[in-house]
Chain A
Amino acid sequence: MSPGHPSTSSRATRVLGGLSLAGLALLLGYALVWSPADQVQKDSVRIMYVHVPTAILAFGACAITTLAAAMWLRKRSEGWWVLGGAAAEVGLVFTGICLITGSIWGRPTWGTYWDWDPRITSTTLLFILLVGYLALRRIDNESGDAAQRGSRGAIVGLLLFPNVVVVHYSVDWWRSLHQKATITRLDPTIEGTMLFTLMLGIAVFSLIFAWLLVHRFRTGWLEERAEHAGLEQALVDRRAEAATGTAAAGGTSR
């Protein structure tokens, strides 16, 4: 992150990235080749090795955003501010992947891309909550540097996780009255290679999540620096302009 090194990677993130890619290759092997097909869901169960990890990490991202908002409100240090946005952005991507994979899985399993299942409904609402939070942050970002930055983003960030939890449970409760176990869910008693593959999926996607988060955090941090640098440069330019202006004025009066 030195000025001469414009990349956002470091030795640690290169190792993290390498591990993520290697893990992804291993996961592909297990998910597509070495793990057996499910008795009920057949091959479509393999989507779960992407779907479940992204769902878990999407919720994890919200927790990070809320934590970062709380810390920002206490310490007012830029790092927490940038982290909150980075986690929400990466979380939005994971929520999107979770929705898309869930929908693809739903087609062969339920016979439809969309079902008013509690999880689909609450995940969609989570997606929109994240979009709203990021829209607000963008406005906060436009409003100047960290010292003047609004607490709006932080307050909404602070409410993000509680809202996700309330929405999740109320939607769960809402739908559970309509349908009770009428659909085949992922077999709760999975074991052996399938369980291992799922755990591997969670581990690998956690690595990818961390990798993306670090890079997004660093680009966010650089954006902040660039803004500061731009402001300082503008001040310097303006002063120089004023100085030459005075000099010129002095010259003519003499």
Chain B
Amino acid sequence: MFRDAALIAGKDLRIELRSQVTTQQVAPFSILVLILFAVALDPDRGFLARASAGLFWVAVLFSALLAIQRAFTIESADGGRDALRSSGLDPAGIFLGKAAAIALQLVVLEAVLAVGVVVMYGTEVTGVPLLLATAGAATAGLAASGTLYGVLAAGLRVRETLLPIMLLPVLAPVLIAATKSFEAALGGVAADGWPWCGLLVVFALLYLTFGTLAFGTLLEES
């Protein structure tokens, strides 16, 4: 299973490295979202810095949608999905591999966004351990649920519009927990953030387990 996962993750990441879609399109988009927030919310630095935890995670969510959709369009051409189905790879491995590739791209995006928030919103970074733990858990949850819902929508004519309406309400708990945890870390009372981080871990484990079990059925029909 894990060997198959590594194979799939390696393939997806190689495609990303060669096509540069994440770095040339998704990452600039995420920075653009930060700029749009500043325009919409009056770039009075005090306000943006106070809201930066929530804005950061909303930007991550929007960018994640693009990354997830991208992860499944790369297989839509030339019967890639059929090849994947008939490859004999363990479906659980395919799920974990795709989720890992998405997670890695999200980590890159989050790093870009973090720099963006610090530079453009003037956010002061405190509580680094909590920030890192939260980002890790939230990324795992986003990648796992995103891969599951992504394959659901893959291959449909309406995938671009269907994925957000299905996935975003499901991700509401991730947005809430990650934002609260970041607020706690940046506000200096890190102890308030750890329970939220725990919620993120539970969410991630839930979707990782469910995805590992259900992905085979879904892949058959995508």
Write the residues of chain A forming the contact surface with B, with a CB cutoff of 8 angstroms.
73, 125, 128-129, 131-133, 135-136, 139, 150-152, 155-156, 158-159, 162-163, 166-167, 170-171, 173-174, 177
B199 contacts the other chain (CB 8 A): yes
B77 contacts the other chain (CB 8 A): no
A128 x B156 contact (CB < 8 A):
no
Residue count of chain B within 8 Å CB distance of chain A: 25
Contacts of A129 in B (CB 8 A): 169-170
Q: State A152–B180 Cα separation when bound (angstroms).
A: 32
Give B217 Cβ to nearest chain A Cβ, in Å. Answer: 5
Interface secondary structure of B, over-half rule: helix
Q: Given A152-B221, A156-B166, are A125 and B214 also a contact pair (CB < 8 Å)?
A: no
A136 x B152 contact (CB < 8 A):
yes
B203 contacts the other chain (CB 8 A): yes
Q: State A249–B169 Cα separation when bound (angstroms).
A: 60
Q: State A73–B17 Cα separation when bound (angstroms).
A: 39
Q: State A132–B169 Cα separation when bound (angstroms).
A: 9
Q: State A163–B210 Cα separation when bound (angstroms).
A: 12
Partner of A132, one of B165, B172, B177, B218: B165
Contact pattern, B 97-128, Cβ under 8 Å of A = 1, otherwise 0: 00000000000000000000000000000000
Closest to B161 in A: A135
A128 x B169 contact (CB < 8 A):
yes
Contacts of B205 in A (CB 8 A): none
Write the residues of chain B forming the contact surface with A, with a CB cutoff of 8 angstroms.
148-149, 152, 156, 158, 162, 165-166, 168-170, 172-173, 176-177, 180, 199, 203, 206, 210, 214, 217-218, 220-221
7 contacts between A and B (CB under 8 A): A128-B165, A129-B170, A136-B152, A139-B162, A155-B152, A170-B199, A174-B180
A170 x B177 contact (CB < 8 A):
yes
A159 x B210 contact (CB < 8 A):
yes
Partner of B152, one of A131, A152, A171, A174: A152
Q: Which of A129, A135, A152 has the most CB of B within 10 A?
A: A152
Give A124 Cβ to nearest chain B Cβ, in Å. Answer: 9
A155 x B217 contact (CB < 8 A):
yes
A132 x B180 contact (CB < 8 A):
no
Closest to B165 in A: A132
A156 x B152 contact (CB < 8 A):
yes
B173 x A135 contact (CB < 8 A):
no
Partner of B172, one of A125, A139, A150, A152: A125
Q: Which of A150, A167, A170, A174 has the most CB of B within 10 A?
A: A170
Q: State A152–B206 Cα separation when bound (angstroms).
A: 18
A170 x B169 contact (CB < 8 A):
no
Closest to A131 in B: B165
Q: Given A166-B203, A170-B199, are A139 and B156 also a contact pair (CB < 8 Å)?
A: yes
Further pairs besides A170-B176, A170-B177: 18, Cβ < 8 Å: A125-B172, A132-B165, A135-B166, A136-B152, A139-B156, A139-B162, A151-B221, A155-B152, A155-B218, A159-B170, A163-B169, A166-B173, A166-B203, A167-B169, A171-B172, A171-B176, A173-B176, A177-B180
